[in-house]
């Protein structure tokens, strides 16, 4: 089994007394900043004027323009959107890094695909939580954590690994487990996971199930409960105890249906297409498409997003969730301006 590190394996001293600049205060940024501060570290925020800046100030942080925050920091964590990072790096970060500083990422995309080429005299590593930012925060507050990967790309101080681990510990990840990776592995597996399984795979599966039922004349509310709402209940069982635990909880009829029908939905051809998706990620085709889409002002992204938000499963779902106050997502009420 790969070596997974926990609280007791980590030396916190390497990060103590260092100033950490967190650049960006969105999903990951707010979680890292608040968790690090509560873990005893000195954190400043780098941002442009705007909603995130207001929020960071409300949360009691000193907020500086990105260049200023970078100048005063020893450790610079870049938590800007991946597609924005190269420009902000060129304009405000690159020239303000000092020899021996640490340049840190939560995802390897820009280093792996050479969109950012760091100077040779700084440590470069990643600490990538394996979960959404709001859960990085929520689990920390509850005394737990989200697991994280760490990987060192460049180690000039000889301490990059220790600093990465201390950082991971500071955001609460060592409560759940910290695992070593490379920028290549983190980037490719993260992109694959979100496209084929976690985000793309799951949303397409849910929508296809919902549409199959509603097109056959069943009530959309019934289809919503069946294909979307209950997904969480099933995933909780998977999260807590794997496939066996989930199958223990469902009826034997459901389990038999799982065995005979699951492989008809996700068959060898589906797996073949998953392999194609992985190839596009590995050879840079996906990265190129996403970079060009951003350069063009996101025409396809916006068009698809608008269409998706109008899908019947979204309108029906909103009505039903409004009638289930316990389902209220705390993110809705607390952090309306920050996306998940
Ligand atoms: P968000 O989109 O949630 O937040 C981005 C932040 O950057 C906002 O605070 C935004 O502020 C700020 N920002 C955007 N443009 C600029 C700019 N030009 N100058 C200064 N600040 C700017 O990002 P995420 O947290 O989703 O992603 C951050 C990183 O974490 C990425 O590398 C991502 O891959 C990685 N990651 C994200 C996960 C997630 O859960 N979302 C999971 C694991 C890794 P403003 O309000 O001004 O727009
Ligand atoms: Mg991910
Ligand atoms: Mg990702």
User: Could you give the domains of the chain?
Assistant: 4-181 (3.40.50.720), 193-334 (no CATH)
**CA pair distance 88, 90, nearest whole angstrom:** 5
Q: Give residue 325's pLDDT band: very low, low, confident or very high (50, 70, 90).
A: confident
**201-256 pLDDT, tens digit each:** 999 999 999 999 999 999 999 999 999 999 999 999 999 999 999 999 999 999 99
Task: Tell me the mean pLDDT in the region 148-167.
Answer: 98
- Residue 221: its pLDDT value, please? 98
CB 108 within 8 A of CB 183: yes
Task: Tell me, yes or no, if 107 is annotated catalytic.
Answer: yes
Ligand 1 close to Cβ of residue 81 (< 6 A): yes
- For 1-30, give the DSSP string: ---EE-GGG--GGGGTT-EEEEE--SHHHH
- Residue 326: its pLDDT value, please? 87
Ligand 1 close to Cβ of residue 128 (< 6 A): yes
Residue 73 C-alpha to ligand 2 middle, in angstroms?
26
Marked catalytic residue, from 30, 32, 107, 134: 107
Ligand 1 close to Cβ of residue 88 (< 6 A): yes
pLDDT higher than threshold 60 for residue 339: no
Closest C-alpha to 135, from 150, 151, 147: 147
- Percent of the residues in the chain that have a pLDDT greater than 70, as a whole number: 96
H-assigned helices in 39-148: 51-58, 66-72, 85-88, 109-112, 133-141
Question: Facing residues of 333 across strands?
Answer: none
Ligand 1 close to Cβ of residue 50 (< 6 A): yes
Ligand 1 close to Cβ of residue 89 (< 6 A): no
Q: Tell me the ligand closest to 27's alpha carbon.
A: 1
**33-48 pLDDT, tens digit each:** 999 999 999 999 999 9
* 321 marked among binding-site residues: no
**CA pair distance 75, 251, nearest whole angstrom:** 52
- Percent of the residues in the chain that have a pLDDT greater than 90, as a whole number: 95
CB 22 within 8 A of CB 52: no
pLDDT higher than threshold 60 for residue 334: no
Best mutation site among 23, 31, 80, 281 for ligand 1, i.e. most ligand atoms within 8 A of its Cβ? 80
Average pLDDT, the chain: 96
CB 123 within 8 A of CB 158: no
* 153 marked among binding-site residues: no
- Residue 336: its pLDDT value, please? 42
CB 63 within 8 A of CB 47: yes
Its pTM stands at 0.94
Q: What is the dihedral of CA 133, 138, 143, 149, to 10 degrees?
A: -10
Q: Tell me the ligand closest to 126's alpha carbon.
A: 1
Could you identify the atom of ligand 1 that is nearest to the CA of residue 49?
47
**CA pair distance 46, 85, nearest whole angstrom:** 13
Exposed/middle/buried for residue 202 (C-beta within 10 Å: 0-12, 13-18, 19+): middle
**CA pair distance 199, 107, nearest whole angstrom:** 16
Six-digit token string for 200:
């793309």
**CA pair distance 44, 73, nearest whole angstrom:** 8
With vertex at residue 238, the alpha carbon angle to CA 236 and CA 239, rounded to the nearest 5 degrees, is: 65
Task: Kindly report the three-state secondary structure assignment for every residue of 293-338.
Answer: HHHCCCHHHHHHHHHHHCCHHHHHHHHHHHCCHHHCCHHHHHCCCC
pLDDT higher than threshold 90 for residue 340: no
């Amino acid at each position: 089994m790969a070596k997974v590190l926990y609280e007791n394996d980590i030396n916190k001293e390497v990060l103590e007394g260092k100033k950490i600049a967190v650049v960006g205060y969105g999903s990951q940024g707010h979680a890292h900043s608040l968790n690090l501060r509560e873990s005893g570290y000195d954190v400043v925020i780098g941002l442009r004027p705007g909603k995130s800046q207001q929020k960071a100030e409300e949360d009691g942080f000193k907020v500086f323009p990105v260049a200023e925050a970078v100048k005063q920091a020893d450790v610079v964590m870049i938590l800007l959107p991946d597609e924005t990072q190269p420009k902000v790096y060129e304009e405000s970060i690159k020239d303000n890094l000092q020899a021996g500083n640490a340049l840190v990422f939560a995802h390897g995309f820009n280093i792996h695909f050479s969109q950012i080429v760091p100077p040779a005299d700084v440590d470069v590593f990643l600490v990538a939580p394996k979960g959404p930012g709001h859960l990085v925060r929520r689990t920390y507050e509850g005394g737990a954590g989200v697991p994280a990967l760490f990987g060192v790309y460049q180690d000039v101080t000889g301490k990059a690994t220790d600093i990465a681990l201390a950082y991971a510990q500071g955001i609460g990840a060592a409560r759940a487990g910290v695992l070593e990776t490379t920028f290549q592995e983190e980037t490719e597996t993260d992109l694959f996971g979100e496209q084929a399984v976690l985000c793309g795979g799951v949303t397409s599966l849910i929508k296809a199930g919902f549409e199959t039922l509603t097109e056959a004349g069943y009530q959309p509310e019934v289809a919503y409960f069946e294909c979307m709402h209950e997904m969480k209940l099933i995933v909780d069982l998977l999260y807590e105890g794997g496939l066996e635990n989930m199958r223990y909880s469902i009826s034997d009829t459901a389990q038999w249906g799982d065995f005979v029908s699951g492989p008809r939905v996700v068959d060898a051809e589906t797996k073949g297409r998953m392999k194609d998706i992985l190839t596009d990620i590995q050879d840079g085709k996906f990265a190129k498409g996403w970079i060009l889409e951003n350069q063009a002002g996101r025409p396809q992204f916006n068009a698809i997003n608008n269409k998706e938000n109008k899908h019947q499963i979204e309108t029906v779902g909103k009505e039903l969730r409004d009638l289930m106050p316990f389902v209220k997502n705390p993110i809705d009420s607390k952090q309306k301006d920050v996306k998940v």
